[in-house]
Structure 1
Amino acid sequence: MRYALYFSPSATDPLTETASRWLGRHAFSEEVFDDYVSFADVTEDPRRYGFHATLKAPFELAADKSEEQLVEAFSAFASSRTAFDIPDVVVGSLGPFFALVPAALHQPLQDFAADVVQHFEPFRAPLSERDIARRKPETLSESQRANLHRFGYPYVMDDFRFHMTLTGPVSDGRSDEMADILTKTFAGFIHRPLTISGLGLFVEKERGEAFTVHSWQPLAAPNTKDVRNG
């Protein structure tokens, strides 16, 4: 069993519905869709994970922690943090992958992501040598390698870039078409704010299986200037 802390809108949010139909699977209900079956080849990888943005990457539980303790900590964390907006999101690319991304770096979002990573680190079991090798540390920057060994994932802290993945690798020949399709599909959600309204605890029961939502909690603390709320 692996767990992950992801940002996702709620199960009934219009963005969750649109993205789930695009990917072909709803991670909350496990309902499958064939609305965009002609693009099933490029959505295969993100379909397994469900629509999300990674905050705390998938991890096995530390030997001295239980699922009950994780769920309790998850609920307490969400209730003590404040919802906030990313001012503007767009369809963008990370190399050959397409995703919904902030139009510009947003420091409150960076701080929130770091907060999640650090807060739940005690629940993470150390990576196996095989898992470390899978990340190809020889191809990572110095800071990314340090993150991998410290937090189990290269792309955290200063290397974190928020993205809600919409495709697997897209060839150069299909890139323009994909950008146009995604811009039209997500027209109602881009070039406007995205509220970081809650947090999802996702689970993968066996390696390679689809991730599903164990629970979703709103960020419920009263609004303050400090997104981390202490």
Structure 2
Amino acid sequence: MTEVISMPILHSTYINIVNFLQSVTLKSAREKEEFFQMLLLKLKDSHIFAEVVAKRIIPLLLTPVILSDQYAVKHVIQHILCPVGETVTKRPKDGQGGVLPESTFARHVIPKIVELFQSRLIHVRMILVENFSKYVHLFEKSVLNNVVLPEILLGLSDSNNQLVQGSLRALADAVPVVGGDVIVGEEREKIFSHGVPKFDGRALNESQSLAFEVKLPPRKKLVRKQE
């Protein structure tokens, strides 16, 4: 750690960021707006190592207090929760892309996210589900299936409609990772089919529409129980 921030500029930037986050509750709204508006650019321009950002700065950002701050949410949090693909070699010049590479994100940020999913604060949960599609693929399958998804399902029973909506979207985002059976159960059947274009050899005019021959699977007959 000492070697990483031994240069005066790096030391000053790192210390200023940490000190501000540790005393954020004492700052004015104007100070917080200015700080969070410039934070991503400071991280980029100071060239602080990703491991240091992940281990020392991100945990100070992913707290209920910071996640309730409108300026932090607007300018920083959505980017903090967006891992950068390993093939991406450059970050946007304005600092408004993801912050950490996926490997670093998976090691240090995912465990913090798992911890936050067990919070019952609605503003924390909303941020997690709203950004879920960005990092869902980085969970270990066992953690996703046994810890995270049950927590998201719990959100469907909440009285807050926005949370229910966000939870449903998060479950949809998990389908490519865990499969539909995990989300809705294994008893699924093929109901919809692809339409096959049917041509009669004539050119279509404006008043005609392309007809489709739709092949549907046989429907199950409903058997009424006799009383």
TM-score, length-normalised on structure 1?
0.24
Structure with more strand by fraction: 1
TM-score, length-normalised on structure 2?
0.25
Structure with more helix by fraction: 2
Q: Comparing both chains, which one has the higher relative contact order based on Cα–Cα distances under 8 Å and sequence gaps of 6 or more?
A: 1
